[in-house]
């Protein structure tokens, strides 16, 4: 436990919350303000890792320069009609498709890590190698390797098929 871990947790929680809030906002100016908070938190995460110059460049470009550009454009456009929310109509089933694809990608990484291919690549450039196996170690100890993989593949395929079938309607 160190000070960096506490700052990482604070910054990452604010980052995920504000990035979702910027997509769900109806007015464009609120989208811009939440996005500024996201970019500021990314600059803070750069500072936590010790990349001071990158953090400074990130602050100057993303928190100062780009919001001025987008804000002037929002003023010029002066849109009267408001947006509907993010998840509307048939588009809300796209979320299920993306969730299925995301889970399939994680399963693929797990499958690669079993054959020690992924470990050998990562071992040269990372300090804590053992933390890669923490996520799936509980399920492997309970059920064994192959039933867990079958369940994961089934869950990913079911999510993707459900999303695609609703998307077609």
- Find where tokens 């938190």 sit: 41
Is 14 near other proteins (CB under 8 A)?
Answer: no
How many residues at the interface with other proteins, by CB under 8 A? Answer: 59
Shorter beta-carbon distance to other proteins: residue 99 or 155: 99
Is 68 near other proteins (CB under 8 A)?
Answer: no
Shorter beta-carbon distance to other proteins: residue 9 or 150: 9
Is 131 near other proteins (CB under 8 A)?
Answer: yes
Residue ranges in 86-125 that form contacts with other proteins under rule CB under 8 A: 86-87, 91, 94-95, 98, 102, 124-125
Is 73 near other proteins (CB under 8 A)?
Answer: yes
Q: What is the 3-state secondary structure (H, E, C) of the chain?
A: CCHHHHHHHHHHHHHHHHHHHHHHCCCHHHHHHHHHHHHHHHHHHHHHCCCHHHHHHHHHHHHHHHHHHHHHHHHHHCCCCCCCCCCCHHHHHHHHHHHHHHHHHHHHHHHHHHCCHHHHHHHCCCCCCHHHHHHHHHHHHHHCHHHHHHHHHHHHHHHHHHHHHHHHC
All residues at 6 or more sequence positions from 133 whose CB lies less than 8 Å from its CB, including other chains: 113
Residue ranges in 21-40 that form contacts with other proteins under rule CB under 8 A: 22-23, 28, 31-32, 35, 38-39
Residue ranges in 143-162 that form contacts with other proteins under rule CB under 8 A: none
- 95: nearest Cα among 31, 166, 38: 166
Residue 168: CB minimum distance to other proteins, A = 17
Binding site for other proteins (CB under 8 A): 1-2, 4-6, 8-9, 12, 15-16, 19-20, 22-23, 28, 31-32, 35, 38-39, 42, 45-46, 49-51, 53-54, 57-58, 61-62, 65-66, 69-70, 73-74, 76-77, 79, 81, 83-84, 86-87, 91, 94-95, 98, 102, 124-128, 131-132, 134
């Amino acid at each position: 436990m160190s000070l960096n871990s506490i700052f990482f947790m604070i910054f990452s929680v604010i980052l995920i919350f504000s990035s979702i809030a910027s997509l769900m906002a109806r007015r464009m100016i609120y989208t811009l303000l939440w996005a500024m908070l996201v970019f500021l938190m990314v600059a803070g995460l750069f500072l936590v890792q010790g990349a001071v110059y990158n953090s400074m460049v990130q602050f100057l470009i993303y928190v100062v320069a780009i919001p001025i550009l987008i804000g002037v454009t929002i003023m010029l456009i002066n849109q009267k009609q408001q947006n509907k929310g993010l998840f509307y109509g048939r588009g809300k089933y796209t979320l299920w498709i993306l969730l299925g694809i995301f889970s399939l990608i994680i399963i693929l990484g797990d499958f690669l890590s079993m054959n020690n291919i992924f470990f050998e690549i990562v071992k040269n450039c990372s300090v804590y190698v053992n933390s890669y196996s923490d996520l799936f170690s509980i399920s492997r100890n309970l059920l064994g390797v192959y039933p867990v993989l079958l369940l994961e593949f089934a869950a990913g395929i079911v999510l993707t098929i459900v999303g695609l079938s609703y998307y077609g309607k």
